[in-house]
Each structure stands twice: as structure tokens, then as C-alpha cells.
Structure 1
Amino acid sequence: MAEIALLGTALLFGGMVLYAFGFAAFIFSALPADAAGPVIRRAFPHFYLFVLAAAVLAGVFATPVDRPSALVLAAVAASTVLARQVLMPAVNAATDAGNARRFKALHGLSVLLTLAHIGAAGVVILRLAGA
């Protein structure tokens, strides 16, 4: 169980890092801004589903091994639902309305949330690895 929880959390951590610092940056460097925005917008719902599924799966396997880690992963999953269902539509609405100030604030919040998720997954990895 511990090994599966560790691998699941590592998948969560790696996937979030790859998306946040690899995929999104690549899309904006490879495509013009007017094309990159819609691609990212279409990709984000899938990203959030990945984070949700990986956090839940890792949390289920972490529960019998390390309850605090399971609770952290549950918090990641719960906040991901809010990000996907509330924050992401608000960011998109601000973009569609041309409200740059609101977009910057909401996008900044989504970036901070993703960084918090990455940090939380890193902490869980260290706990499960016995560091």
C-alpha cells in the first residue's frame, strides 16, 4: 500500500509540475497568443480531472499507511473540485469580458493554488518515503 501511495503521489507531483512549468509554457512559446489561450482553456479541465483522480487514488492508498498524508491529498482533491468548478469558470468569464484586472487576480489565485498543490504533494512524498 505504501509503495502505491508513494507512486501515485509522485505521479500527481510530476504531472502538475510538467503541466505548470512545461506544457503551459511550451504552448505559449510555440503558438501565437490568440491561439495559445484557447488551447490552454481546453486543456485545463483535463488537468484538473487528472489532479483530482491522482489525489484521490493516492489518498486512498495512503489512508492505511499515513493518515495525515491522506488528509493532505483529500484537501488537494477538494480544492481541485473548487478550482475546476468555480475558479476556472470565473477566470474564463473575466477573459471573455475583457476584464484584465479580474483575470490577473483570479489567474494569480489559480497559480498559487497549483503551487500549493505541488508543495503539498512534495510534502506527502517526503512523508511516505520516510524522509
Structure 2
Amino acid sequence: MLKRLSESELDVMLVVWRAQEALDTGEVARRLQKGWKIQAVQVVLGRLVKKGYLSCEKIGRLNYYTPLVAEADYRAAETETFVEKLYRNSPKSLIAALVQSQPLSKEDFEEIRALLDRGEES
């Protein structure tokens, strides 16, 4: 089971996931575009290594980080937890809440229908 990420940890992971290459601490800080001090970025990266989300390889004087957990795997785990906790494990209730909370365009409805139809086929 994956450990939940804090908002700051998720911000950093999104940068690393989208990079598709190992990043050093300074590059993570630049790509975050949040104005964080380098020390704050180092702390978050260290927490992510301890949680098992990132690997760290020291090359020269720099630490390079690569993901150990895929973004899709994290999203799937978070979605499952969300549906379990808030909708008592009922995807139907989640979809009903989404539809009731905001109107869907015809295109949105057609895309959702296509997804549901593919799910029935599996």
C-alpha cells in the first residue's frame, strides 16, 4: 500500500514524473516554480526517498532523483482510497455526485459513456 503524499510532496512528484529523466535538486526547484528555498526542496526530496517514491543517486556533488512509483499507480491508489472513504466503495455514488455537482457537456457525457461501455466489455 502506498503512503499518502502531502501537497508539497505531490508538487515535487509531479515535477519528477513529468521530467522523464533524473533531476538534481536544483532542477527540481527550478521546475517547481514555487519560489521555495533549495533547503525546502531537499527536505521534501528526502521525505520522498524515505517513503519509497524516489531513488537518489549521487553523481559528483549532486543528488539525482528518479521515480520508483509510477504516476498512474499513485493516481489509482488515491482514487481507490477516495471512493472507499467518501463513497463507501460505490463508484456509482461518485459518478452521481459528479453529475449533480456540475453540468456535463454533451462531449463529456459521450466520453463518460464510452469509458463505461469499455468497462462493461472487460
TM over 0.5: no
Structure with more relative contact order (C-alpha pairs < 8 Å, separation 6 or more)? 1
In terms of fraction of residues, the more helix-rich structure is 1
Q: Normalising by the residue count of structure 2, what TM-score does the alignment of the two structures yield? A: 0.31
Higher gyration radius (CA): 2
Q: Normalising by the residue count of structure 1, what TM-score does the alignment of the two structures yield? A: 0.30
